[in-house]
Structure 1
């Protein structure tokens, strides 16, 4: 069993010293350090820490925001730590300690709330999309060619013009004209 610390500051001007001292006091034998914004998904030292985790290890941070910026990200990282058979502890947030039953309960409740929130967002999005479709709204990019241009392009293709000539006229890719031709023959 090892105690692994993770220290992070957002800018080059900030210092890791205070975090490193607190992590050493908490028994961290290895400390992964980085100077990178928590918003960035690519945090190499955090990735190394996650790969080094073994069953029985404890990951320690000075505060929750050092590990992640959003609730969802924090819960995902803590779940990954748990999946590796390790525990998580935040020195500045004593309730976030998966080595205790209270900490595990709090995380389970937060995970359930986050899941509930995702479901609500999905439902609202689906309802909004259905309403918009019923009102005749179209989704996705606007077509590069109008209906008239598509019909005209098909007529020109039937008259023997090359795909490249037609595509150049409308400033579109040859593949678009090719798809138009295929769709008209499929009908």
Structure 2
């Protein structure tokens, strides 16, 4: 049986990627593939590949030859940044791993391990469309906020409402403990199910406190 991985992604914690996994399991069963890895993440596809733990795990497992194919519902699950998505596809191809895109009913590599021109063009176009969609969304949000301000509506935090450092740190005792025990930021993200930005902020505050103690 051909070993395959299933990859699923949602942009927010509230969204559910289980539908993606179920659909790809059906494809695997239909083609008699062996699912050896299921990798999921909840993070914006606009983030860099280095910031995404799911993508990093996907690359690591591809590199050691755990699977021959990756099953995804659509190219935007891999990413919404044109450059990052194409970098990812090229790296996976360098390990001989093909990507099955369910919405296109096609794979990125043929039986000879080569990318055909049609698939290459579609990947470029779809990635560009995804990036353009994100740009338009951001523009609509900015336009809406500008209109709200013009109408006298306040947007964003009010002055003086920034969360106090002590209150912020009190919510992440496990992260603090993990950092003090020597875990990296990415390890803490995975272990404690918090965002990369949150762990980075906790680490920054801890370092500030240590600097103050050393200077005293």
Moved more, 86-95 or 104-113: 104-113
Match of 1:32 in 2: 39
Q: Which runs of 5+ in 1 are unaligned?
A: 114-187
State the TM-score, normalizing by the size of structure 2.
Answer: 0.46
1:62 maps to which of 60, 65, 73: 73
Q: Does 1:85 align with 2:96?
A: yes
Larger radius of gyration: 1
In 2, the alpha carbon distance for the partners of 1:21 and 1:111 equals: 24
In 1, the alpha carbon distance for the partners of 2:14 and 2:124 equals: 38
Would you say how many aligned residue pairs link Structure 1 and Structure 2?
A: 113
Moved over 4 A (4+): 100-103, 107-113
Q: Which runs of 5+ in 2 are unaligned?
A: 29-34, 126-216
Q: Pairwise CA RMSD of aligned residues? A: 2.8
Match of 1:146 in 2: none
Match of 2:12 in 1: 11
Match of 1:179 in 2: none
Q: Does 1:105 align with 2:123?
A: no
Match of 1:23 in 2: 24
1:23, distance to aligned residue in structure 2 (A): 1.5
Would the alpha carbon gap of residues 103 and 26 (structure 1) be closer, same or farther in structure 2, given more than 3 Å must change? farther
